Structure 1
Amino acid sequence: MDAQGLAGLLGPLRQLVAWAAAGAMIFGGVVPYIPQYRHIRRTQNADGFSPYVCLVLLAANILRILFWFGRHFEAPLLWQSVVMVVTMLLMLKLCTDVRVAGELSARRRCFAAADSKEEEIRAPPRRSHLDLDPHHFWHWSSFGDYVQCVLAFTGVAAYVTYLSIDSALFVETLGFLAVFTEALLGVPQLYRNYQHRSTEGMSIKMVLMWASGDAFKTAYFLLHRAPLQFSVCGLLQVLVDLAILLQAHAYARRPPKPTPHAAHPASAKAL
């Protein structure tokens, strides 16, 4: 085969590889959450999953979408953010439903132990974002509260971005905040593991997928010359993932720290 024929063959192959890489970039970030979602649905217990992971990813990806309006970057990265926002909302919906159902079940057990009538069982007290109670922040009783909070944050951030879009300093700062916030993705889980001195219920597969996905993403940033903020914070994400894996190794043979507020005897983290 001559050089011209080889070049004609390699052209479509390169295009196919580029499409595959773009697809992996768009949807690869949500794959680790599939075992998490399935675990919560199967056990009907969300105690082991930190909802702050969803908070971090929602804030990071909303800011990244706004950053795109000030400085266009690779389209797959933009679509990845859109897909991730939808995924985190679905995770919050499931976790909220399971948590509220668990609280109601625990209340039933308490009434049953006291030989009370079934009619006396009341639903758990409703916690709303409008209560402005810092102790219940991001632990609300209705999925609608999360949606309203996300919409409010998006509206305020979009308005500020619209007013400051002509400022290069603001745009670069916005991009840094977006990727730095995402780099802190694993910190809530890291802190939760430290608090309980245990990673019981945490899916090692998910953390491994986190680490491999973050490594792939960081390499993608470097190869496609994405803004420097993306590459630096991608490396930070990989380090946090490795720290969580080290926790799993260190706490492997330790008994879990008891959690008196748990509504399920086998409180599990499937992250």
Structure 2
Amino acid sequence: MDAEVVLQGEDGEGSWTLLSLSASLLMVFGGALPYVPQYQEIQRSSNTEGFSTRVCLVLLIANILRIFFWIGKQFELTLLLQSVVMILTMFAMLHLCCTVHSTNRVSTKQHRLTDWDLHYFWRWSAFEDYLLFCFGFTVASAVVTLLLLDSAMFVEALGSLAVMFEAMLGVPQLLQNLHNRSTKGMSVKMVLLWTAGDVFKTTYFVMNESPAQFWVCGSVQIFTDVAILLQVLLYSQDPWARPR
């Protein structure tokens, strides 16, 4: 009888470990999954109208800052790996957008980071300019973090700043949809996938007792997802249709 109880306990522990591992893997790669169909759609149509590259700006800044937050306050390694995967995903999206814009460009004039023209900030012609900006931002963040790493107030403020940027993730897309009066390239299914991911992410933060900044960020993202979902229902004649 005792042996049976022990075996049941071991089976339960093994199942929980497998479930925990699956949840961690989903956290690491789940945030990047919604961008796979969008990447494929842009690649197929050679049209970036339905995607705002400012989403990349928001996510790159948020995840670079989150990495430095982790240095000051070690939370789950899963969330650190998630940031690395998301940064690579955003670079892949930017590279594709630059390639498409280069192919479709009518004018030969290019806009570069070294022009120091704020009107074309984050609208540069070359992918290398985005890499250079992120490198400069990372170096500056590293210097400030190393100088103030012993300050608990700075570390908490850094974490709040990181998740604030992430919480604003959907805002560029929301504003672009509002400006264009269109959600071309989006569908209810796509937005529901985003929402499900943010709900799962927020639940993960709460269950794993992650720093409060994370679940507050997740809650804001869920509300933004719902707003974008309403836009898709309002602007699209057939919101459930596959984007064309």
Is the shorter-chain TM-score for this pair beyond 0.5, marking a shared fold? yes
Query: How far apart in 2 are the matches of 1:98 and 1:203?
Result: 22
Q: What residue is the counterpart of 1:90 in the other structure?
A: 92
Where in structure 1 are there 5+ consecutive unaligned residues? 108-122, 255-269
- Structure 1 residues 110-150: Cα deviation after superposition (integer angstroms, max 9, x where no partner): xxxxxxxxxxxxx6211101111122111111110000000
| 1:238 CA displacement | 0.3
Contact (CA 8 Å) 1:100, 1:124: kept in 2 or not? no
- Out of 165, 169, 192, the residue aligned to residue 181 of structure 1 is 165
Matches within 5 A, 1:90-109: 90-103=92-105, 107=106
Structure 2 matches for 1:25-104, cutoff 5 A?
25-103=27-105
Query: Residue 153 of structure 1: CA displacement?
Result: 0.4
Deviation at 1:205, TM superposition (A): 2.9
1:194-215 deviation line (CA, Å, top 9, x unaligned): 0011112224333221111000
Q: Superposed, which structure 2 residues align to 1:162-181 within 5 Å?
A: 162-181=146-165
Residue identity in the other structure for 1:185 = L
Aligned-partner SS, 2:56? helix
In the superposition, the TM-score normalised over structure 1's length comes to 0.85
Which residue matches 1:249?
233
Q: CA deviation at 1:65?
A: 0.5
Alignment of 1:211-222 (within 5 A): 211-222=195-206
Q: Secondary structure at the match of 1:232?
A: helix
Distance 1:43 1:203 in 2: 16
- 1:232 alignment partner, one of 209, 216, 220: 216
Can you give the 5+ residue segments of structure 2 that lack an aligned partner in the other structure? none
Q: Give me the whole-angstrom Cα distance separating, in 2, the residues matched to 1:51 and 1:45.
A: 13
Kindly provide the CA deviation profile for residues 28-78 of structure 1, in whole angstroms up to 9, marking residues without a partner as x.
Answer: 000000011000100011122100000000000000000000000011100
Whole-angstrom CA distance in 2 between matches of 1:193 and 1:252: 11
Select 1:24's aligned residue among 26, 40, 62. 26
Q: Distance in 1 between matches of 2:193 and 2:78?
A: 19
Q: Kindly provide the amino acid, as one letter, of the partner of residue 100 in structure 2.
A: V
Quote the Cα distance in structure 2 between the aligned partners of 1:204 and 1:152. Answer: 37
Per the normalisation by structure 2, the TM-score is 0.94
Which one has the largest radius of gyration?
A: 1
Q: Counterpart amino acid of 1:31?
A: L
1:253: Cα distance to partner?
4.0
Q: Deviations over 1:196-239 (max 9, x none)?
A: 11112224333221111000000000000000010111100000
The residue identity in structure 2 corresponding to 1:127 is: H
Instruction: Report the residue type matching 1:205 in the other structure.
Output: K
Report if the CA contact (8 A) 2:159-2:213 is conserved. yes
Q: Given that residues 129 and 140 in structure 1 are in contact (C-alpha distance below 8 angstroms), is that contact kept between their aligned partners in structure 2?
A: yes
Distance (Å, rounded) in 1 between the aligned partners of 2:97 and 2:192: 22
2:121 to 129, 133, 137: 137
Would you identify which runs of 4 or more consecutive aligned residues in structure 1 move more than 3 Å? none
The answer (yes or no) to whether the contact 1:36–1:203 under 8 Å persists in 2 is no
State the shift of 1:155 in Å.
0.5
Contact 1:199–1:251 (CA under 8 A) maintained in structure 2: yes
Native 8 Å contact 1:217 1:234 kept in 2: yes
Give the direction of change, closer, same or farther, for the CA distance of 1:132–1:204 in structure 2 (3 Å limit): farther
CA RMSD of aligned residues (A): 1.4
- Could you tell me whether the CA contact under 8 Å between 1:63 and 1:157 is conserved in 2? yes
From 3, 6, 9, give the equivalent of 2:5: 3
